């Protein structure tokens, strides 16, 4: 347990670092950095951190480059302004959120850099991949502002955009099997290549790059670990709340492709016609394909393979990433993995949706489990959770089972597979979001804590419904410190994970290291996940 004395000592170090660095941050000139494509002018923000926004890492994937692999960024002459975020990639956005987000465009392959100084200090680099189910999100939202990490922990933070939905993960290959449809993953690799070529000019160390991301970002981290072209581009991996880590099967690719093309009024032989259609038309067809999936047997059986996600192909992901990691066919780098205690747990905001509410019934949960195992094993799992959680409602048990099946157990399995190297650390975020519609430690509850942006995060406001408390701010500082330590040293400041003690950092307002948390539930999945 983190005691009062240790907490006070850590707090004192944070205050001292802030005071010592304040004068250094006070009067920095407008920064100009030389990159492989030309000169960039950034800005010094109100906290004294150097920020470079909207930096191109690939050519605009427009016109004839739609559905193509990312190409080298274009050169420019003079000094390019890097003080404004780029458009975010095309996506469906709730009308309520549109006013707070950048505009959308297909020309969206840009990244952002936060650094304490553009010097030769060779700081660790945190390369963050946003989530959003591969159909939403942006590297420029306030949630991922890297100011706190750069200022408090002396690291360089890089956030990126990558093509989403049908633009980045089409369930078809327009140019044949030789051109992968995992375009969004290849965009991420292109951004990592840019980091290797240029980050030293921003005060970063190209030899200490940590890839990190939550949800679809965490899934992406797992994929990058197994793609041969990516393995030499990073040195630590931090998949957060990564679901399943499987790639879309050929069967489902064909199903989703039919629905998408039908919405456009195209046949399979007219696939190349999608190259010249307006982006808005493709987005509308994408929404139609997602709607068809929600009506399908795949969705009802709890299949996690949404229409527009990384897919199995002949060139990038021939096998599910989780299987390759378990076989050791992946980057041999330190790993920090974990997630929230009830990622998809029962909560009022979920039960208010009739189609989702069905997932939290015993009969539906057993049907989903029977899709993956025998009727007897499904009943054994349900009865085991009922025994481990006496008094829990049917919906509560279903949520715990879904969380462990889709999120916790896959993370444990990849950690078990790598634990012999003694370079694996696990965490579990247990702080419950107190908003009336939530009440649990659900998916993305921890997201704003890693960056210290609780006061600016719309996700935090939905989950907590109020400003952060001093205890929550202290937890955020602790998590930032731990993440930066992992990025800096390749080790988290608690015992490494192994299959004997299974030491896990449990994050809460009073954090502590626990041995094999929820162990009875974990054992129920032996041999299955």
Residue 227 phi, psi (nearest 5)? -80, 120
Q: Which two tokens stand for residue 462?
A: 């939905």
Catalytic residue among 106, 153, 343, 430: 343
The closest of 320, 337, 308, 339 to 403, measured between CA atoms, is: 339
Strand order in the sheet with 335-340: 43-44, 50-56, 110-115, 156-160, 123-129, 204-214, 236-240, 335-340, 424-429, 503-507, 512-515
3-state SS, one letter per residue, for 135-198: CCCCCCCHHHCCHHHHHHHCCEEEEECCCCHHHHCCCCCCCCCCCCCCHHHHHHHHHHHHHHHH
Question: Cα(59)–Cα(71) distance, rounded to whole angstroms?
Answer: 5
Contact 139, 112 (CB under 8 A): yes
Dist CA 334 CA 264 (whole Å): 45
Q: Which of 130, 235, 256, 443 does the annotation list as catalytic?
A: 443
Q: ∠217-220-226 over CA atoms, to 5°?
A: 155
Q: Is 130 an annotated catalytic residue?
A: no
φ, ψ for residue 235 (rounded to 5)?
A: -135, -10
Check if the beta carbon of residue 350 is closer than 8 Å to that of residue 370.
no
Tokens 């997602």, located at residue: 290
Cα(456)–Cα(452) distance, integer angstroms: 9
Buried b (16+ CB within 10 A) or exposed e, 76-91: eeeebebeebbbbbbb
**Are residues 163 and 105 in contact, defined by beta-carbon separation less than 8 angstroms?**
no
Tell me which of 138, 140, 215, 419 is the catalytic residue. 215
Q: Is 215 a catalytic residue?
A: yes
Residue 84 is a catalytic residue: no
Which candidate, 26, 56, 209, places its Cα nearest to that of 127? 209
Pairing label, strands 39-41, 43-44: unpaired
Pairing label, strands 50-56, 43-44: antiparallel
Residues acting as catalytic residues = 215, 343, 443
């Amino acid at each position: 347990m983190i005691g009062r004395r240790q907490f006070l000592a850590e707090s004192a170090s944070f205050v001292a670092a802030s005071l010592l660095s304040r004068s250094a941050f006070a009067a920095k000139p407008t920064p100009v950095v030389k990159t492989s494509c030309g000169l960039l002018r950034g800005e010094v923000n109100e906290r004294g951190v150097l920020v470079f926004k909207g930096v191109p890492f690939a050519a605009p994937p427009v016109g004839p480059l739609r559905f193509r692999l990312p190409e080298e960024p274009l050169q420019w002459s003079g000094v390019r302004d890097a003080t404004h975020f780029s458009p975010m990639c095309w996506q469906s956005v709730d009308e309520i959120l549109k006013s707070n987000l950048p505009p959308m465009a297909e020309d969206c392959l840009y990244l952002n850099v936060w650094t304490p100084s553009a010097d030769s200090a060779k700081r660790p680099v945190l390369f963050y991949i946003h989530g959003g189910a591969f159909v939403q999100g942006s590297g420029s939202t306030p949630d991922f502002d890297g100011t706190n990490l750069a200022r408090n922990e002396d690291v360089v933070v890089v956030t990126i955009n990558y093509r989403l939905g049908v633009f980045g993960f089409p369930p078809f290959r327009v140019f044949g099997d030789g051109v992968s449809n995992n375009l969004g993953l290849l965009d991420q690799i292109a951004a990592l290549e840019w980091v290797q070529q240029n980050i030293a000019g921003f005060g970063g160390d190209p030899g200490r790059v940590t890839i990190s991301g939550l949800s679809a970002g965490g899934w992406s981290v797992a994929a990058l670990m197994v793609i041969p072209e990516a393995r030499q581009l990073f040195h630590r991996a931090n998949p957060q709340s990564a679901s399943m880590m499987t790639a879309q099967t050929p069967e489902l690719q064909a199903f989703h492709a039919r629905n998408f093309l039908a919405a456009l009024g195209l046949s399979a032989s007219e696939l190349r016609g999608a190259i010249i259609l307006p982006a808005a038309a493709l987005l509308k067809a994408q929404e139609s394909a997602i709607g068809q999936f929600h009506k399908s047997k795949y969705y009802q059986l709890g299949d996690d393979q949404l229409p527009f996600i990384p897919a199995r192909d002949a060139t990038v992901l021939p096998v599910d990433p989780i299987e390759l990691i378990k076989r050791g066919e992946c980057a041999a780098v330190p790993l920090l993995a974990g997630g929230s205690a009830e990622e998809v747990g029962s909560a009022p905001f979920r039960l208010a949706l009739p189609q989702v509410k069905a997932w939290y019934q015993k009969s539906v949960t057993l049907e989903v489990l029977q899709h993956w195992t025998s009727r007897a094993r499904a009943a054994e799992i349900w009865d085991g959770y009922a025994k481990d959680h006496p008094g829990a409602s049917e919906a509560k048990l279903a949520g715990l089972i879904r969380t462990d099946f889709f999120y916790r157990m896959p993370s444990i399995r990849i950690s078990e597979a790598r634990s012999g190297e003694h370079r694996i650390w696990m965490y579990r975020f247990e702080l419950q979001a107190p908003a009336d519609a939530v009440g649990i430690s659900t998916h993305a509850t921890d997201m704003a804590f890693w960056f210290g942006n609780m006061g600016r995060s719309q996700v935090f406001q939905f989950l907590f419904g109020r400003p952060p408390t001093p205890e929550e701010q202290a937890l955020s500082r602790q998590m930032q410190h731990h993440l930066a330590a992992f990025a800096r040293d390749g080790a988290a400041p608690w015992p490494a994970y192994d299959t004997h003690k299974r030491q896990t950092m449990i994050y809460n307002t009073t954090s502590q290291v626990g041995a094999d948390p929820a162990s009875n539930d974990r054992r129920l999945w032996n041999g299955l996940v």
